[in-house]
Amino acid sequence: MLLLTALALTLWFWRRNLRDASLWMVLTYAGVALIAWTDFSAVSVAGGSAFPKILKDFIMLGMVGFVQAMAVKKQISVWMAVVLIFGMFAAVHYLDELINTEDNPASQQITTQLSAIDDSYLVELAEGASEDELLNFVINQQLTAERAFFPDAASETHLDNYYVVSNPTGDINLQRELDRLGTVVYTEPNETISLEPFIEAEELVTASGKRSSLSINDPLTSEQWAMEVLDMDDYYRLLQEQTPKKKAKVVILDTGVDGQHEDLDDNYFSIESQYDDDPHGHGTHCAGVAAGVTNNGLGIGSLAGTNDESPFVEVSSVKVLNAGGMGTQKTIIAGIIEATDEGADVISLSLGGRSNPSSQRAYSAAVEYAHRNGAIVVAAAGNSNRDAIDYAPANAKGMITVAAVDQLLLRAPFSNRTDKIAMAIAAPGVGIYSTVPGNGYKSYSGTSMACPFVAGLLGVMKSLDPSLDYKQAYRIINRTGRESSETRITGRIVQPAAALAAVLR
């Protein structure tokens, strides 16, 4: 389309004094408008921000008008017009590359959501059905297919009946054709999942200058404003009097975790060595909030609490997103299954994306599989200032979904609303100071940061009462949560000490 638009503009320039000149200019503007509409639709429908793409299109439109105006005034030569035209498209191409590079954190959501238009589906076969019909269809249509999930307890779920089918050419209506197969009971898009973190300005990290005295010796707790609003000192004092019944496992599904970080190492266990590094940093930050080593004279304090003789939780990682913070529905669900099969007590998902309302069957099946095996699954509500019911996996059945609040205990401006979510809770998510790879510490904002506050607390609750299931756990954190003026759209704000006291009754 870009090349056709350039050709139309060039033909107009040469024929601008002839009768058909207006036709070529109309075609030029129509081409630019079509490109803009395509960019807007592809990004906005997928749930991303369309502004950078539309900015590119307006630059192109402006350059078309500039060439037209200069030509009419006869102030430039034909060759100068050609140079301007192709220079314009080179600039647009450069902007497009800048927008979509994986090294630009501001572009991750846009890039990821655009890739969601790939023609890939999760396909569930009927229980006991042969895969032959599906595989023959795949071969005949020159598609690609692979088994999606391999749960250890396959008898407890239908997830072992799922395949991923992709159409590299996009020349057929894949979902319609799959639905026609007699052995297929369900199809849904293999949607793209992404991260949306950002680093806060340093002056926003410590909005409250007041700090309550803490009974722990971690030196960077002065950067953790949430310690005060969550009454963490009461929580730590109460924990110091307890003996865990088990060491609960909290598994972070993310970009990996730097397991050798000075403030994580003693609490970290490895599932796979490939998961023990974090080229992005997001997963390590979440791990620190949930289970950074507390009262060790280093770094920050966390929800893991402290007991000199026996820790309450240990934390691990399943890498489900790449270095750019991108993954798919298939990789997330496979991660939930893997964490469950490794004995996770709590699974934390600080990720998500805009979702087709019909695309929750596989997510919900994965959450149910985790529940059947004793795990609680927690997800971030999302950072789009919209309704979390339209975002996955936040809207999966059985999910505990976490919105973000700021230092004033109001919904963070970016946080999705959770009033239509069955099990909603809120936690601090603005200027959250935590671990990053290489023994570093930074402040991030997002529902991604709120989610591990809840995950870490649930891990400690499970360490004191291993029989606690997800329904009981949610009732406790909801009942003991703190009301705010925006509780209706965020859920109550989690209160660790009150929740712990309720578990111990």
Cβ within 8 Å of residue 144, ≥6 positions away: 138, 165, 166, 168
Catalytic residue among 254, 263, 277, 345: 254
**Cis peptide before 393, with omega less than 30 degrees from 0?**
yes
What is the reported pLDDT for 208? 41
What pLDDT does 114 receive?
31
- Amino acid 378: pLDDT: 98
Picking from 6-10, 224-228, 463-467, which range would have the lowest pLDDT averaged per residue? 6-10
Residue 485: active-site member: no
Asked if the model's pLDDT at residue 39 lies above 60, the reply is: no
Q: Which of 24-28, 144-148, 166-170 is predicted least confidently?
A: 24-28
273 has a pLDDT exceeding 50: yes
* Cα within 13 Å of Cα(132), Cβ side: 3
Q: Give pLDDT, residue 278.
A: 98
Closest by CA to 289, choosing from 334, 333, 225, 342, is 225
Question: Would you say residue 285 has pLDDT above 50?
Answer: yes
pLDDT at 155: 95
Q: What is the pLDDT of residue 108?
A: 34
> Which range is least confidently modeled, 47-56, 224-233, 315-324, 465-474?
47-56
Q: What is the mean pLDDT of residues 46-71?
A: 47
| Integer Cα distance of 283 and 317 in angstroms | 8
Q: Is the pLDDT of residue 443 over 80?
A: yes
Work out the average pLDDT over 83-99. Answer: 50
Asked which of 110-124, 363-377, 466-480 is least confident by mean pLDDT, the reply is 110-124
State yes or no: pLDDT of 308 exceeds 70.
Answer: no
Enumerate the H helices of 180-300 as residue ranges: 202-205, 226-229, 232-240, 282-291
- pLDDT confidence of residue 355: 87
CA distance 181 to 175: 10
**What's the confidence (pLDDT) of residue 360?**
82
The rounded distance, in Å, linking the Cα atoms of 332 and 294 is 29
**Can you give the pLDDT at residue 81?**
55
Three-state secondary structure of 88-149: HHHHHHHHHHHHHCCCCHHHHHHHHHHHCCCCEEEEEECCCCCCHHHHHHHHHCCCEEEECC
Calculate mean pLDDT across residues 69-88.
52
Share of the chain above pLDDT 90, in %: 68
Gap between the Cα atoms of 295 and 134, Å rounded = 56
pLDDT bracket for residue 45 (50, 70, 90): very low
- Residue 234, Cβ neighbours under 10 Å: how many? 17
Can you give the pLDDT at residue 306? 77
**Under 8 Å between Cβ of 397 and 358:** no
pLDDT at 46: 33
Q: What is the pLDDT of residue 62?
A: 53
Question: How do 440-445 and 432-436 pair as beta strands?
Answer: antiparallel
Instruction: Specify whether 152 is catalytic.
Output: no
Q: Between these two residues, 299 and 25, which has the higher pLDDT value?
A: 299
Of residues 213 and 371, the one with the higher pLDDT is 371
Lowest mean pLDDT among 60-64, 144-148, 409-413, 477-481: 60-64
Q: What are the angstrom distances between the C-alpha of 342 and each of 199, 201, 373, 374?
A: 32, 38, 10, 11
Residue from 107, 282, 406, 445 carrying the catalytic annotation: 282
Taking every pair of Cα atoms in the chain, the longest distance, rounded to a whole number of angstroms, is 90
Average pLDDT over residues 260-274: 97
d(CA 35, CA 57): 7
Most confident of 283-287, 353-357, 359-363: 283-287
Q: What rounded mean pLDDT belongs to the chain? A: 83
Q: In what order do the strands lie in the sheet with 440-445?
A: 198-199, 440-445, 432-436
- Of 317, 348, 448, 463, which one is the catalytic site residue? 448
The least confident of 58-67, 301-310, 465-474 is: 58-67
Give pLDDT tens digits for 106-131. Answer: 333 322 333 334 689 999 999 999 99
282 is catalytic: yes
